[in-house]
Structures are given as structure tokens and as C-alpha cells.
Structure 1
Amino acid sequence: MNINAIVATRMTSSRLPGKVLMDLGGKPALVRLIERLKRSKYIQEIVIATTTNSQDDIVVETAIEQGVLYYRGSEEDVLLRTVEAAESTNTDYIVQVTSDCPLIDEQTIDDVIKRMLDHPNIDYVGNHLVRTYPLGFSAEIFRTTTLREIEMTTKDPADREHVSLYYYEHPEQFHLSNVEASNYLRHPEYRLTLDTIQDYTLINNIFDALYHTKPNFDLHDIIRYLQKQPDLLSINRDIQQKKAR
């Protein structure tokens, strides 16, 4: 049974182009995410699912330098790209973490994976069906075979762009499960995703403050830091998150 992280990544982000290579504590954001994914005790391979666009050559170079796998596919059809990336790497379970989550830690990811492994009758596990974690700490897991069935079923452009959308918009078809954060970590109002320059300013501040003393800092450390520096949260407080629909 292969449990692999499939990370959809491209340079041509609409709101913040090139964000995956923006510097965080001396290394690109994508490298920081790969470092954190490698700490998972369940993930076997990390697959960077990028596009055939020549602008993404540097994404492939980064994946090779970091010793992880990559796949190149459709730029617009992220659902198809993800399924093909999974099938090309013999992935049984897809762990989906997006490239705009460079702060996510292994405990958050592993709690989602463990829920799936403990309950094999479940089709989908995530931690944002009811959001209790900060934005930027979303993790999901589902079977490659089921996602391929979805890919062959839906033609909805929103489903093609947002890989797992079909699962939670059709709950009558699937067994879904949501992992909730513990009380201390329960801060859905925190915006810790990398999607705008304001987000980058906040995330870079967090890396500068925490990484050099504790490279494997986790969500507990981030929340402790932000509670001591509450004004930092105003940096990106007014950013509106894009909706899938």
C-alpha cells in the first residue's frame, strides 16, 4: 500500500505568480513544504505534480534537487493532473497538501492519514470540512481509484480545478470524515496560507522567528508565537479567500 503526497504546483499562480519559489528563511517555499512533508511517518513518496508549461521547468529542477518525484501534466485540469501523477507513481492513497501551505506540520498531516488507516471504510478524510485548523493547514487523503472514477464522471470546471471538491459536494455518495483540531490549535480565524504578498510577509516573519532555533517547529509553536505577537495577524487579516464556487 503506497501512501504518497501529491502536491499540485505551478509558477503561474493568478494572485501571486512564482510564490512557490519565494524565499522563506533562505530556501524556496516549495523546499520548505517538501522538508515538512518528509517528516510524516506515513508518507512514502512526495510527488510534485506540475505542468508542461516551460515556466515550470524550475519546479521540476527543484523536485530533482530535493530528491522527490515529479509529474508534468495539464496546466488547467488539476484533477486530471493529480490522478495521472498518482497513477504514474503507483499511489494507492493520495495525500493532498497544496503548495500554498509551507507551514503545515507532520502531526497535522499524520492525524488525517491515521484516521483513514484506522477506518478503511471511509472514502475521504480531511480537516477542513468543518474548519477548526488555521487556513494553510489543510490536509486530505483519498484513494487514487476513487479519484479516477470522479475524474471520469465530472465535467464541472470547478471540480477539474479543485481536486477534492466533488467528494464534499456529493456527501451522499461517499463516507466522509473530518479531523478537528485540539482546543489549543483551534484557530480557524488565522490565515497562514501563501496566496498574496501580505500572506508572504506574515509567513516569512514566522520562519525568521522560529526556524533557526527549531527547524521542525509545529503549529503549537506558531500559535504560541502569534499569541505573543498578535499584531502580526493584522498583516493579512483583510484578505478574502477565494472560493471554489
Structure 2
Amino acid sequence: MKLSNLNIGIISQARMTSSRLPGKILFECKGVTILEHHINRLRASDVPVFVATTTNATDDPVIDTLLNLDIPYFRGDEQNVLSRYYYTALENNLDLVIRVTSDCPLIDGLLIKKALEDHLKSYSKNLYTSNCIERSYPRGFDFEIFSFELLKEAFDTATLPSDLEHVTPYIHQNKSGNVLFNSIRNFEDKSGYRVTLDTTDDWKLISKLINDYNAEDLGYLEIIKLLDVNKDLALINAHVEQKKVE
């Protein structure tokens, strides 16, 4: 298949039943939900966006939001997120998947676009590109790029609950032994910053960035600069520990 014929899509996982901050993706800043901010930012990548959500009735409001935004979706098992990704990709005939999560309202679509171009230059069905392999970006700008073949192999083979819940451990831990890695690194290590939404203190920072600094219109470098210059901002959620993958 020619690279120009590859069907590429961003799949974001979304659900209302977050363990630490339930309903967070429908919190609002400037009258716009976190989910909509997230999708608007992704649109800058020029890649179609799909959402993998659950069959839970609690996610019906998520569907209403997606319908208003004209975003295609798949509803599946809450715990088996890997299967949700697989069936979303399968139903939409995706050859290449970009994985993101909906608790990143300030994710940078242009950063993803640049990484996708880099991925396609060295394209292989076994290639895995991510800015999480060696962390140098703030949490909240995370993305992973991989082929449908790698996703299918994980879906067909993975059995550990952590593999099913977190989607890509089977791939990025190279359990097949066939994965090629392409690590996207920032020129400076800014991995200590959090621009993701998982706790009330994360929410304080995100809402302040959007309401007071119009961060929804800024690139990732400008957001990093804000945190560099305004140390009080970064301190709002500096104590928050990322949930461990178990």
C-alpha cells in the first residue's frame, strides 16, 4: 500500500466514570466542555478524530456531545479499552492509529501532525512512535502512533488486565519482539509539568490556563513558557502523582 493511501485516524478514549475526578471530560471552561476543547485542539492535526467510549448509560451525555460535534464514535466494554480501540479502528478501516486520551484538553494537534510526518518518513507496520517512550514533554501532550497490524496483534494476543485497560503496553513493552521504536523528544526536559486533568488541582490549573491565559489558542511551547515564567501556576498541581499502570 502506498503511504498516500493510508487511512489514518486519531482515536481518543473517553468515559465519565473517572476514578479520581468523575465527569471531568464534561467540565466546562468558557462555556466549552473539556472534551470539546480536546477535540478542537486535535483538529489542528488535519487527521480525522474518533472517540472510543463505553456502553454505560453514564456515557450517554458523551454521545450527545459527540453528535453535536459530528465526531464518529464506538461504544464498547468499559474495562477492555484495548478492544474499544481495536473495534473503532476496524469499523473505520484505519491503517494507522494515533492514540490520545480525552483528559488532555490542551493537547497540541500541530505537535501530533509533525510527529506523524516523522513516522511516515520511516514507515513500517512495526513502527511505534510516541513522545512517552522517554518522557520530556509535560503530561497532557501525550500521543502514540502505531499500525492497525500492531493493534490487532495486541488485541489477539494480550491477556493481562493491564494490557487490556491501558491499550498499548503489549506494544510499547515489545512483547512480540518485533516493534521498532521512534521516540519524539522535546529539546528540554519538561516532563515535570502536568497539563492533564485527573484531580481537582489539575482542574484548578487547566481552568486557570484557559480562563486567564487563553491557553486553548496557544501551542505547546507557549504553554510550557507560561509555566516556566509563572512558577505559581506549575505549583498548583506539582504534588500530584500520576496513577501507576498496574
Does residue 128 of structure 1 match 2:128? no
Structure 1 consecutive aligned stretches of length 4 or more whose deviation exceeds 3 Å: none
Percent identity (aligned)? 37
Alignment partner, residue 12 of structure 1 = 17
Given residue 138 of structure 1, which amino acid in structure 2 is its aligned partner? D
Check conservation: 1:192, 1:199, Cα contact below 8 A: yes
Matches within 5 A, 1:1-245: 1-41=6-46, 43=47, 45-121=48-124, 122-170=126-174, 172-183=177-188, 186-211=189-214, 215-245=216-246
Q: Determine the C-alpha separation between the residues in 2 that align with 1:234 and 1:210.
A: 16
Q: Determine the C-alpha separation between the residues in 2 that align with 1:100 and 1:22.
A: 11
Q: What secondary structure does 2:223 align onto?
A: helix
Gap runs ≥5 in structure 1: none
Q: Determine the C-alpha separation between the residues in 1 that align with 2:56 and 2:25.
A: 15
Superposition CA RMSD, Å:
1.4
TM normalised by structure 2 equals 0.93
CA 1:108 to 1:92, structure 2 compared with 1: closer, same or farther past 3 Å?
Answer: same
Alignment partner, residue 3 of structure 2 = none
Given residue 236 of structure 1, which amino acid in structure 2 is its aligned partner? N
Given residue 229 of structure 2, which amino acid in structure 1 is its aligned partner? K
Shift, 1:150, TM fit:
1.1
Gap runs ≥5 in structure 2: 1-5
Q: Determine the C-alpha separation between the residues in 2 that align with 1:4 and 1:90.
A: 9
Q: Determine the C-alpha separation between the residues in 2 that align with 1:39 and 1:111.
A: 11
Q: Determine the C-alpha separation between the residues in 2 that align with 1:125 and 1:168.
A: 9
Q: Determine the C-alpha separation between the residues in 1 that align with 2:218 and 2:117.
A: 21
Given residue 126 of structure 1, which amino acid in structure 2 is its aligned partner? S
Q: Determine the C-alpha separation between the residues in 2 that align with 1:160 and 1:223.
A: 32
Aligned pair count? 239
Q: Determine the C-alpha separation between the residues in 2 that align with 1:145 and 1:112.
A: 19
Cα-to-partner distance string for 1:45-96 (whole Å, 9 max, x where unaligned): 2111111001101111111101111111111100001100111111111111
Q: Determine the C-alpha separation between the residues in 1 that align with 2:39 and 2:213.
A: 18
Check conservation: 1:10, 1:59, Cα contact below 8 A: yes
Cα-to-partner distance string for 1:198-227 (whole Å, 9 max, x where unaligned): 00100111111232xx75311122122222
Q: Determine the C-alpha separation between the residues in 1 that align with 2:197 and 2:87.
A: 25
Shift, 1:189, TM fit:
0.7
Q: Which moved more, 1:110-119 or 1:71-80?
A: 110-119
Q: What secondary structure does 2:52 align onto?
A: strand
Given residue 230 of structure 1, which amino acid in structure 2 is its aligned partner? K
Shift, 1:16, TM fit:
0.6
Q: Determine the C-alpha separation between the residues in 2 that align with 1:90 and 1:13.
A: 29
Check conservation: 1:112, 1:139, Cα contact below 8 A: no
